[in-house]
Chains A and B, each alone.
Chain A
């Protein structure tokens, strides 16, 4: 048996056929994209001013990080470590906004879902806030908070919170009444109903709400960083473009997408698998 086939069997055993197949199918569009990109370089369809070489983009990753004085400087968001500082400040803002915005949105959404007065108070303002895209707040946020963390955080929270709120609220309202009744007739109180029925029962909506709000929030963040930020990937893309460093723009865009892909795959999808799939609340395609 050749080394290649032994290796492939080993990989199959370790990762599992299904997952390997899924990975392969999912990577097809990316492989096509990279191939076309590379062909552009070989056949000179578009000038490097518009589309940089694949290798240039790869190199830009290290050039940006060149002056960095080591790991501790990178962690402390030192200006010399350009690449890591931009990545970490964007990711940091997302995590901070998620830690504040998601639980707050879920909690208020659940309360609004179970109580008519609360939903009557919060729904109109929610529709109002949702109708204004996150970006529209940027000029105002800059006036209020100046350029930097507060502005970007405000923009993100505005997006995350309301989307999460609406999804959690609708999730609670879609739960069959009988579950609540079955907890009440076994001596459960309101709080038991919230933790044992509303929260798990609204999980399909909560998870799709998380996906949506993280997706839209991440986009809003990039836009906010472009105009109202002093660091971050959006800021990097914007400044690089004005300096005609097209390879840095490409690099920034790719990193943005990769970070979101990783969040989805390693946080949101496992969460979905361990809750709503296991409980049979949503069905999986074959």
Chain B
């Protein structure tokens, strides 16, 4: 499989917003993500996961190292990389349909063509009947479905997700995770999914990148060999591969949390 996204020797420091002190966020990160793969990234809080995502999105300039998509160096935000932010990233002044079609609108796609595609994605995330509603009229789960559809509809090469389900309730989260798995099967998108929930990382990832405490280093890569079609929560508690990989990720993350606490 060809590598879609490559990160080479990425090191990053940034000044703290209040104290101005230099924060060492990432240290010599090397990783590749293959086409059609869904990788999850976990690590203790403050390990630079979000910094990495912002660099991949092109929202944060970097100096040391190289980050590229399809062999092209990332030098700013672009429509080849879609981002699903943690919360509230759908525009309150646009209806559900207009939010989902926003990316295509920005690309200048004609209205008719756009509408057909928007309808498809509304169906994909199950928001039929809510096309003309505004975000404040939706529940938390529906907002996040809308956000996922908004990003997907713009047809990015790589989809970056920054703890997208962290702000919804546990019941909705499980549903959204299964839906994302279904979407991954249907669209075959390359997805990088950042999370702090170990269960989620094991359930969704083809591979899981475990990060160390600050400065963030790639501590380990855990392979999770479960067919996408078999990934349903009700089957997971008897799935040996799921339990093994989850426990391994948990152990790796725990080590880091303990180091961070001892410091």
Residues in chain A near residue B135, CB distance under 8 A:
280
Q: Which of A186, A201, A280 has the most CB of B within 10 A?
A: A186
CB-based contact B91/A187 at 8 Å: no
- What does the 1/0 interface line of B90-131 toward A look like (CB < 8 Å)? 111100000000110011000000000000000000000000
A127 vs chain B, min Cβ distance (A): 26
Q: Give residues 203-229 of A contacting B (CB, 8 Å).
A: 203
Total residue contacts A-B, CB cutoff 8 A: 69
Specify which chain B residues have a CB less than 8 angstroms from the CB of A178 in the assembled complex: 85, 88-89
A279 at the A/B interface (Cβ < 8 Å)? yes
Q: B36-95: which have CB < 8 Å to A?
A: 57-59, 77-79, 81-83, 85, 88-93
Could you say which of A183, A197, A280 contacts B136, with CB atoms under 8 Å apart? A280
Does B198 reach chain A (CB closer than 8 Å)? no
Q: How far is the CA of A203 from the CA of B91 in the complex (A)?
A: 13
What separation, in Å, do the CA atoms of A278 and B134 have in the docked complex?
8
Known: A176-B88, A178-B88, A280-B136. A185 touches B77 (CB 8 A): yes
Expressed in whole angstroms, the Cα–Cα distance for A186 and B83 within the complex equals: 8
Task: List, in ascending order, chain B residues with CB within 8 A of A197's CB.
Answer: 91
Q: Is A24 an interface residue (CB 8 A)?
A: no
- B154 contacts partner chain A, Cβ-Cβ < 8 Å: yes
Whether the pair B91, A179 counts as a contact (CB closer than 8 A) is yes
Question: On chain B, which size bracket covers the interface?
Answer: 20 to 34
Q: Is the interface of A mostly helix, strand, loop or mixed?
A: helix
Q: Closest Cβ of chain B: how far from A259's Cβ, in Å?
A: 31
In this complex, what residue of A is CB-closest to B59?
Answer: A181
In the complex, what residues of A have CB within 8 A of residue B81's CB? 185
Interface residue range, chain A = 20 to 34
The contact of A186 among B59, B106, B137, by CB within 8 Å, is: B106
At the interface, yes or no: A33 with Cβ under 8 Å from chain B? no
In the complex, A182→B103 CA distance in Å? 10
**Considering only CB atoms, which chain A residue lies closest to B81 in the complex?**
A185
List the A residue with the shortest CB-CB distance to B162: A178
Establish whether residues A183 and B106, one from each chain, have CB atoms under 8 Å apart when the complex forms.
yes
**Min distance, Cβ B122 to any Cβ of chain A, angstroms:** 17
Question: Which of B's residues lie within 8 Å of A, judged by CB?
Answer: 57-59, 77-79, 81-83, 85, 88-93, 102-103, 106-107, 134-137, 150-151, 154
**Which A-B residue pairs are the 9 nearest by beta carbons?**
A280-B136, A187-B79, A200-B93, A186-B103, A184-B77, A279-B93, A185-B83, A182-B89, A185-B77
